[in-house]
Structures are given as structure tokens and as C-alpha cells.
Chain A
Amino acid sequence: MPSVDEHAALIAEIRSLAERTSRADPLDVEAEDQLSRAFFEFTPVGAVNTERPAMLVEQLERSAAISPLVPVDSKKPVGRIAKRLVRKLVFWYMSYVAGQMLRFASYATRLIIRHEERLTEIEEKLSMAHTPVTVLPEDLSEPIDLSGWSERVVGLLQSLAGGVTSEDGSDGPVPATRVLHAGCQDGLLVKQLRDAGVDAYGVDPRWSLVDAGLASDSSLDLREEEIFSHLASVGASSLAGALLTGFIEQLERHRLPQLLDVLRAVVAPGGLIVVVSVAPEAWARTRSTVDVDLAPARPLHASTWTTLLARQGFSDIDVSSLPGAYCVVGRRGP
């Protein structure tokens, strides 16, 4: 009989292969385009989310082409003849109505396309206006240096060693003990947390860093996984805390609400969120918060994290300075 480990390893292998293949992107551009259009073309507006307004505009232009020539196909030969006859009889009427509708649709379509072009123009100008204001490592996939402040962070999370108790369980309180380090690199902080009695584990999509960490200490619970994918699989209120480092520096803005939503779901009431950003320039300098936050691929200002966490129901929010970094801590409310 296969052991539990064997069966878990096989499942993990298939999952990992799927994720790696997806990242490798084996389809050519033409095939990808064909696929992304395939369903969209037949769906009502709003049914499929698309980040490509051009596809919506194409769909609009196609549907604005109103024809008075009603199809006459029929399974029965007589049906086809009858339909042709009816079409011929009412063609003068249909073409008059269709002509008016077509004129309206053309004006409406042109107007929408003009607005779309104007919007794109404004977006481009705005994007150029927001030049980067902070300095980040050239290659964001490079590991960040945690050594200067790791002990302070361990101190912040040490209170979770006994876990926190969630009231969410249907069968009474369920203690949550696990602390996730998202962006764990080689597991330095996971090891320090474990040594401090915290039930910590780490997730990082960079397999080389995770492998290096496991090679130096195979007893660490480190997983090579995409962080959002991992968070999606974590049960509600099952974490005592979450520490976020590294990946938040390059977080796309539209994913931020998703991250906060999922963190609120997975951290148990009373649990802690700790965000460490290694770009103190983002909040220490005199540039406005808006400038910093809107600059593409730049880290968020600490006060923005404070506001966003408070909106998600986190309390006791505290911002502190660390050597070469800043840290925002929030406690999940009930």
C-alpha cells in the first residue's frame, strides 16, 4: 500500500509541473491570441473579464453591422422557400428599419471608439508622468537581505508561539498556530521563527532559493509555490499570522485588493499581519504618497498600507523603522 507521503508527493509533482509549464508559456503568440478570443467572441458583454478593450471594441463593431437579410436556412425544403418569400415581401420594411438602426449604431460605435482612444491617450500620458521615485534592486527576483532586521521581526511574531483561537469554527473555537512567511527565500526567517517556538513555514516561487534553503536544513517547511496560488488554498482563519516580504515590492496594483481580501480570510481573528518593505525611500522621502504609490512597480507608502489594512478590519496598526526597511504590523479584528 502506498504511504501517505508517496501519494502527497505524486500530487505535489503534478501540481508543480502544471505551474511550471504555465510559467514557461509553451504556446506561440498566435495560438494564445486565438485561444483568448475563442470564447470572448461569443459571450455577452461583461460575461468574461478582459484586460484588452480592443477586443470589446471589435465585438461592438461587429454587432453594429445590422443586416436586413434575415437567414433563410431551414431543415425542410418548403421552410426555406417560405422564408425566402416572407423575406422578399417585407424587405422594403426591414431595410428601412435596419437602415435607421445601423445609422444609430454607427454613431454610437464611433463615439465609443473615440472615447476609448482618448482614454488610452490620457492613460499613456499619466503613466509617463509617474516616473519612478524610489530605487529598487535592478532584478526584483534577486533575494533581499533580511539579516539586518530578521531578529526584530521574529520578536514581533514570537507572541504567536501559542497560536490564536478562532471563533469561526462551527464546532467551537479552533486554535490557529501556523505562521506563513510569504516570500521566504531560503527560509532564514522561517528557521529563526521555528527556533523561537513559532510554528512557521515558508512559500516562495523561486525554486533555486527554496532548494538552497532545504539543502541547508531539510527539516524546514519550505514550499516552492506561487504565493497567490498558495494563499488561495489556505483554509479560512487557519493562520495565526502572515509575514510578507519581497514580493510586495513588485506587486501589481490590481492584485492588492485580492491580497488583502485573502489575508483577511486566512488569518484568524487576533492573528497578526507583518509587512516588511525594503525600500524606506518609499516613505521616508518628501514626495507625496500618491506619487509613490502610483509609480509603476514601486512599493507602497507605509501610510497606504496602514489605511488599507484598517479598511480590511485590522487594528492596532503600527509602523516602525528597521535598518534598511520599514515594517507595518496589524492585528486581525474579530
Chain B
Amino acid sequence: MRARAAHQFLATFLPRDATGLHALGVRRCLREAGWRSEIFAEAVHDDLASEAHHFREYSRLAEDGDLLIYQMTTATALAGFLASRNEALIVDYHNITPPELYDAWEPAVAQRNRYALDELASLADRSAYGVGDSELNCRDLRALGYERTRVLPLFIDMDRRFAWPDPGALRELEVLKSRGGSDLVFIGRLAPNKAQHDLVQALWVYRRLYDPRARLWLVGQPSCSPYAAALREMVAHLGLASAVHFRRGASDALLAAYYLSADLFVCASDHEGFCMPILEAMHHRLPVVAYSSSAVPETVQDAGVLIQDKSPVALAAAFDAACRRREQLVDDLEPAVRSRLAAFDTRAVSEQLLSLVAEVAGRVPG
């Protein structure tokens, strides 16, 4: 008998992108469990051309009893396409930034996010399950009418991704480190919801009150040009041009170098649907000090320091306390960090995925 199929759909299939890596992990898991599984996307990066099909091709390949998994990240033609199909559907929601956070900066992006939320809501009745990588995402799904929701952790293979830190970058970072001062790092797109401006202000206070030679590394692509420009202007205005280092999107090897060289991973985001870099920092045993908002508390849990007060002074004081007691923090947090990372163990996530798929498949005749 021919094996049943569970296929995935995503808007853009990119290498090194969290959703893309998750989709590859889901496919690997399904195939190992005997399912047929392909990835269909609206746009596919050249490096992954052999790994995916254009989503319109699915109509030709569809078979009775197929399960479809939609990795939902943004507004796209996929939502309409999937709404018009009859196959059982699981929506795996990776969060959409609340539009109001973009209204003043990029109204067009805010509007696109509103469309995306409308599309997500339009699939509620059609979906057998709504899945989120955090409880926050599941709450959003329930608010949009999804009756059955479940948290499914992301497939993260950090051992493989970060096996080889970039030696050149490590050397360069070590040279800077030898001049003294703490290194704080945040990895994430330059975007209003990531609130890098709060980190810059906290650094200004931190240098003024505690560590005049401290540096802040902001690693990530600018995804909102007006915000990135305002951020750079503020950095210059505060006289921090030599202390705040902007680095555009980096390879896994470069990211590993930043994680290994930094003293703290800091996060002041106003909205995160999950925040993968927090787990990446934990993987590198880099202590995390984060503002407690959106999904950040459930991502950090008890394996990092969550700060309720976002004022620059409070953040700076927390940075100082964490840097001063860094060694103790690393040692004391080790069991919690290990247990946090274990939740993302590929085997554990595979079991959860297969149980979900089996449950949905059980309701659909094959």
C-alpha cells in the first residue's frame, strides 16, 4: 500500500531562516516515520531549488487522504489556495507582529500584517488543528477562532548549525575584548518590535554608571528602513558610534562567534512570537537578560533573568549585576538551561509532531 502524505506549504523557503529550517526538520521527521512529504512554497531560494516545489504544482500531485501543513508567517496567496482545497489542514502559526507596532514606521507593513491576520482567521474553520511554537501563538489562534490548538516546538538542530564558529570573527572579537569592557549582544532584525533603541539607551546608561568601555552588538538585517535609520541617528547623537556595532544578517558560523565572545545576551523586545536567539544563546551557555514581554517569559522560563521594568536604568543595573556575577550565573543556570534545551530535542519534538499528525490523520480516511 502506498504511504500517506503530509505536505508542507510556506510563503518563502529560505536557507538559515527559522521557518525554513523547521520545515526541513518536519519533512525529515515525517519521512523517517514512513510518510511521504514534500515542501511547497510561493518563493524558493536558489540554494533550495531542489528541495521544494512551487505551490501551484500541488494541484497536479494531490491525492485523496493527504494532510497539509501550512507554515504561516505572512500574508500570501497560499492562504486563499489552501482555503479552496479539501484536504485536512494543520496551520502552524509562527506569529505576526502586531500591526500597531508598525503603523507609524511603515504603514504598508502594518497593513500587510493586518491582511495576514485576516487570512489566518479565514483558515480557522477550515483547519483541523492550529499549532504554535509558543503558548502565546496558540492564544492568538484561539482568539481568531481556532478550536483545537497545541504547542509544537520548533525543530532546531543547533549542534549542527553552530559546530564551526568563524575563526576570523573570533580573533577580531577577542582583540576588541582585550581592550576591556563587557560585550552585550542581541540577534534579531532591526525592527520596531525588537526595540533595539531601548538596548542602545540602556547601554548609554550602563557605560555612564558602570562600565564606560562596554559594547553592544546588534546583529540582524534591517527589516524596517525608517527604524534602522532612526536607530543609527540616535546612536550617533548619543556619542555611541564606536560602542554600538551593527552587523547585518550573519552566517551560523559568525553567529556562533558572537555568541561565544559576548558576556551577555540582552533582549528588550516589545513583541516576540518565540525568540529563537534566546535558545541559541542558551546553547552557547551565554547568560540571558531579557525584558519580560509577549512570548519571551515562556521561551526563557527559569533559565535566564527576566526584567519587568524596561527603563534604561533598570536594564543597565541588570546588565551590570549579571556581568559581575556572570560565572555564578552560568553555573547556577546550567541545570535550567539544559532542561530548557532538552525540550527542543529533535526526538521529543518528532514524537509530538507524529502524534499530532496521527491524530489528524485518524479523523481523515486515507
Which residues does A use to contact B, with CB under 8 Å?
A: 1-2, 4, 6-8, 10-11, 13-15, 17-22, 25-27, 31, 34-35, 38-39, 41-47, 168, 170-171, 225-226, 229-230, 232-233, 236
Contact = CB atoms under 8 A, between A and B. Distances in A.
Nearest to B298: A235
Contact of B308 (A7, A21, A34, A229): A229
The 4 closest A-B pairs by CB, nearest first: A229-B308, A21-B317, A22-B314, A47-B104
**Range, interface on chain B:** 35 or more
B307, B314, B336: most-surrounded residue (chain A CB, <10 A): B314
Given A18-B317, A233-B292, A11 B302 contact: yes
Contacts of B308: 15, 19, 225-226, 229-230, 232-233
Nearest to A43: B230
Contact of A17 (B139, B233, B321, B329): B321
B237 interface: yes
A236 B139 CA distance: 10
Contact of B321 (A13, A43, A230): A13
Contacts of B231: 39
Contacts, number: 123
B199 to A, nearest CB: 11
Interface in B114-170: 135, 138-139, 142, 149-151
B331 A27 contact: no
Contacts of B226: 44
Contact of B315 (A18, A42, A168, A226): A18
A36 to B, nearest CB: 9
Contacts of B306: 11, 15, 233
B132 to A, nearest CB: 9
B71 to A, nearest CB: 19
A35 B315 CA distance: 14
B317 A232 contact: no
Contacts of B229: 42
A2 B305 contact: no
Interface in B222-257: 226, 229-231, 233-234, 237-238
A39 B105 contact: no
A171 B149 CA distance: 8
Given A7-B336, A170-B138, A22 B331 contact: no
Contacts of A20: 317
Interface string B308-326: 1101111111100110010
B234 A42 contact: yes
A134 B151 CA distance: 51
Contacts of B197: 39
B108 interface: no
A25 B313 contact: yes
Given A47-B192, A226-B309, A14 B321 contact: yes
Interface stretch (B76-84, B178-186, B202-210): B202-210
B37 interface: no
Contacts of B205: 27, 35
A2 B335 contact: yes
A22 B200 CA distance: 17
Contacts of B233: 41-42
Contacts of A171: 150
A205 to B, nearest CB: 11
A39 B234 contact: yes
B309 A19 contact: yes
Contact of B314 (A8, A19, A45, A46): A19
A44 to B, nearest CB: 5
B201 interface: yes
Interface in B255-300: 289, 292, 297
Interface in B322-345: 322, 325, 328-329, 331-336
Nearest to B316: A21
A22 B311 contact: yes
B172 interface: no
B151 A170 contact: yes
Contacts of B230: 39, 42-43, 47
Contact of A14 (B150, B209, B313, B318): B318
A22 B105 contact: no
A41 B208 CA distance: 21
Given A17-B318, A45-B104, A35 B138 contact: no
Nearest to A20: B317
Contacts of A25: 313
A1 B331 CA distance: 8
Nearest to A230: B308
Contacts of A26: 209, 313
A38 B237 contact: yes
B309 to A, nearest CB: 5
B325 A10 contact: yes
Contacts of A1: 334-335
Contacts of B237: 38, 41-42
Contacts of B208: 27, 31
